[in-house]
Amino acid sequence: MSAHEATIEGQFNIDEALNTKGFADFLDKFGDDLEPDESNIAEIEKRFRAFENVATAAKEVKSLFKDEILGESGVKLDDAELACIDAHLMDLAIAYPDSVDFYLNATKGYHETKERCSRMKIEMNKLGGIPEIQKELNVMDKVSSMGFLQRRFGLRIKTEDEKKMRDYVTGRYGLSKKTIAERAEAIGDAGVSYLNAEGEFKKMRRVFFENFAPADAISDMARQKAQQKLRELADPTKDLKDLDKAQQMLDRFSDDEANLSVDYLRGLDQSQYQATIDGIIEYKIVTQIRDAITATDVAGSGALNKLERALGKYMERQAVGSKKASDAKDFISNTLNSFMVRETGAKKVLLKRLIVKLG
């Protein structure tokens, strides 16, 4: 019978524990020359339980850091790079044996609150999505001085403002008057539940990414890897797919609302990097558009369709580096126009038409 099995049965056996690989060395690290006899069996059992839990806790904590950082940044950290977690938990097990159980429970709480937050976000999305709901709340707050959540709409019309508020929601969502209060209740309840879940998740994340001793070293490692990845992607020899990925990473890392666990851009000259990536992406797009125009034969039937197919992926772009939406469209339109004025004949006419279609 192993010491673990004996402990489960309430018959902790000191000999079995000392036969467990590594436990005697672990026990010696306490430095108090505790006699391994039956008079100290309770303390030895406590230390053995901490010893056994260290490996489990380290595995769970490392998995948490790996998954969170990978999900946020695409950066992979392996067990060797996270060995500081094993060492720290081992030190804690010696100094404060009960602390190992705390981190085991904390990892469980972290995953539970994260899952609950995701579940609440789904409920919010069913009601129109968080940005849309926030927009609705803001508009309602302006229409009624009493505020949307405070009023819960009600069903009695007392003021012109309340009538405007009710008419807005009825028109905006196609709701009957009887369902306005129900929607208000649903939004209010879902919103409060989501905020509560998000708040609990942030607390649990702070346990690891702010209050856990190895967190700074792990964050530095993740930051260095993320920035190295950004530098590797900002390469003129890379294709547009990789360059767009670099821009997406930069956008995510600089988005305050992303609420990331690590400040991946600390120490990086963001404006210089953005200028570099903008220059490369714009150059790639301009030269590829030029080559596509040159290579497209517009003789014969279907000339417009052929040219549109050749240029479609550029005309459909929603981003060109840091330029987004209308700015990106303007860049593509201006690029097409710069080549159109150099053309003559059919190709010039066709490019004009594509510029009109691009809007």
Same domain, 225 and 200: no
Same domain, 238 and 254: yes
Domain count, the chain: 3
Same domain, 130 and 187: yes
Same domain, 140 and 69: no
Same domain, 32 and 70: yes
**Distance between CA atoms of 312 and 315, rounded to whole angstroms?**
5
357 Cβ partners below 8 Å, 6+ apart? 308, 315
Sign of CA dihedral 240, 242, 244, 250: negative
Question: Does 112 fall in a domain?
Answer: no
pLDDT at 198: 82
Task: Note whether 322 and 274 are within 8 A (CB).
Answer: yes
Same domain, 205 and 264: no
pLDDT at 225: 97
Same domain, 206 and 233: no
CB-facing half-sphere around the CA of 131: CA atoms within 13 A: 1
Same domain, 234 and 351: yes
**Which is nearest to 254 in space by CA: 266, 240, 272?**
266
Question: Does 114 fall in a domain?
Answer: no
Question: Does 227 fall in a domain?
Answer: yes
What is the residue-wise DSSP string for 21-65?
TTHHHHHHTT-S----SGGGHHHHHHHHHHHHHHHHHHHHHHHHH
Question: Does 55 fall in a domain?
Answer: yes
Please write the tens of the pLDDT for every residue from 155-194.
344 455 555 555 555 555 454 444 545 655 666 666 667 7
pLDDT (mean) for 217-245: 96
Res. 140: pLDDT tops 80: no
Please write the tens of the pLDDT for every residue from 2-37.
555 455 456 899 999 999 999 999 898 888 888 999
pLDDT at 138: 55
pLDDT band at 276 (very low <50, low <70, confident <90, very high): very high
Q: List the domain range (segments joined by +) for residue 45.
A: 3-97
